[in-house]
Amino acid sequence: MTLLLALACQSPETTPEDSVVDSADSAVDTGETGDTASQAFACGELTEPEIPGSIQSRSLSSSTTWTLAFDEVAEESGLVDCSYTREFVGLEIVDQPYLCPDCEVIVAGYATMTEGEECFTQISEASGSREEWWGLNAEGQIFRGSTANLRLFAPSEQSFEGDLSGGTFTWGSVNALSAGGELDLRASGDMTLQTTETLLPDPWAERQTPYAGGWPQESPGLEEVSYELALGQRFPNARETDQCGDKVDLWDQSGRYLIVDVSQYNCGPCQVMATDFEVLDQGLAADGIEIDMVTYMGNGLSDPLTPPPQDIVDDWQERFGTHGPLFLDRGFAYNTLHDFVEQQSEKDFGFPAWVVLGPDMEILHGQIGYGSYDDVEVMIREHAAQ
């Protein structure tokens, strides 16, 4: 189902790492809709004890050399064949599995340019040293990324010889240059993965106390789910920080219909969607149908993958009210919804992006943009009558 006149805000595209094209962010301000909050909300006391470390972490170190080979057309503009090398060191992260659903291990760290800085400047204006994220699955496939909270990708034409303790690798691609010509970019290197003495807290440790936001605690329990969404499939769980600073399980909101959206504070259609929810809530509640809204928010249209500061969260609640947890998104909703809502809406990703879930967390609908809740209300009533 695609709603007519569904308006959406666009974010600047994220440039892949080691790309030959760099683009600058451009902030978008879509205006405000005014104060629409209809209920006071106050966080209670944070009572959950700190979770001690119990999972032995792993570290990954690697050395990668990129070789640049330009064709004759590119060389006519002054580009020359060369190579550069980065040394990477990182520590395992276990609380963002959605960044690489196929990975056995995900590592976050820093890559330092050790050779070939001048070579790198031919294809990028960015610093040669940077944060990076690496992943490895049981089949020996490597995944990488250089943008925080963005899903990792598998480099093309890659090969790997080794296992989960390390090995050697290659990958490469041929890239068309905007100034004309082509670049054959190849990488080769080695990696080592080893256990460390650092203990990480279990991201799924059983909660001991009520939520500071007063949210329900009705999770059906852990089970294997897919991050590749489909209608009728159960939406994956996540434990993220809410507006009260508490770690909250999405699945604890089960037992009622849910609208789960990823929004940005400076997105006009996102604001209208938040404003209109109260009317939808009241209309369904009159017939005994319970629905809540769970919002995942980034730091605005120009920085959607960074959690927002508390003042933005507080301002959103003051203007649009509180109907459920407002999560400081670290990429869970952005990455999990992205491909599914593009397929459902047949349009490029934008904000708000959202899904409707049934009481058992099954996916009933997904879309990009907002026009009204009219068709969704009909769909929910029909589903509830089954």
- What pLDDT digit, counting tens, does each position of 191-228 carry? 999 999 999 999 999 888 999 999 999 887 767 789 99
Q: What is the pLDDT of residue 22?
A: 34
Q: What is the pLDDT of residue 6?
A: 81
Confidence label for 25 from pLDDT (cuts 50, 70 and 90): very low
Q: Is the pLDDT of residue 295 over 70?
A: yes
Fold adopted by 239-384: Glutaredoxin (3.40.30)
- 204: enclosing H helix or E strand: none
Confidence label for 20 from pLDDT (cuts 50, 70 and 90): very low
Q: Which residues contact 211 (CB under 8 A, 6 or more apart)?
A: 44, 217, 242, 244, 246, 248, 252
The whole-angstrom separation of Cα 295 and Cα 259 is 8
- 22: enclosing H helix or E strand: none
Are 108 and 216 a contacting pair, CB within 8 Å? no
Q: List, for residues 332-372, the tens digit of each pLDDT value.
A: 999 999 999 999 999 999 999 999 999 999 999 999 999 99
Q: List, for residues 230-282, the tens digit of each pLDDT value.
A: 999 999 999 999 999 999 999 999 999 999 999 999 999 999 999 999 999 99
Q: What is the pLDDT of residue 287?
A: 96
What is the length of the chain?
386
What mean pLDDT comes out for the span 284-294?
97
Q: What are phi and psi of 260, to 5 degrees?
A: -110, 115
Cβ of 33: how many Cβ atoms within 10 Å? 15
Q: Is the pLDDT of residue 2 over 60?
A: no
Q: What is the pLDDT of residue 386?
A: 93
* Residue 301, burial from CB neighbour count under 10 angstroms (0-12, 13-18, 19+): buried
Which amino acid is located at 335 in the chain? Answer: N
Percent of the residues in the chain that have a pLDDT greater than 90, as a whole number: 83
Nearest to 246 by CA among 51, 45, 39: 45
Q: Which residues contact 300 (CB under 8 A, 6 or more apart)?
A: 27, 264, 265, 266, 308, 312
Confidence label for 41 from pLDDT (cuts 50, 70 and 90): confident
User: Which residues of the chain does CATH 3.40.30.10 include?
Assistant: 239-384
Confidence label for 35 from pLDDT (cuts 50, 70 and 90): very low
Nearest to 189 by CA among 319, 346, 65, 75: 65
What mean pLDDT comes out for the span 124-137?
96
The whole-angstrom separation of Cα 284 and Cα 156 is 49
Q: Give me the DSSP letters along 259-324.
A: EEEEE-TT-HHHHHHHHHHHHHHHHHHTTT--EEEEEEE-S-TT-TTSPPPHHHHHHHHHHH--SS
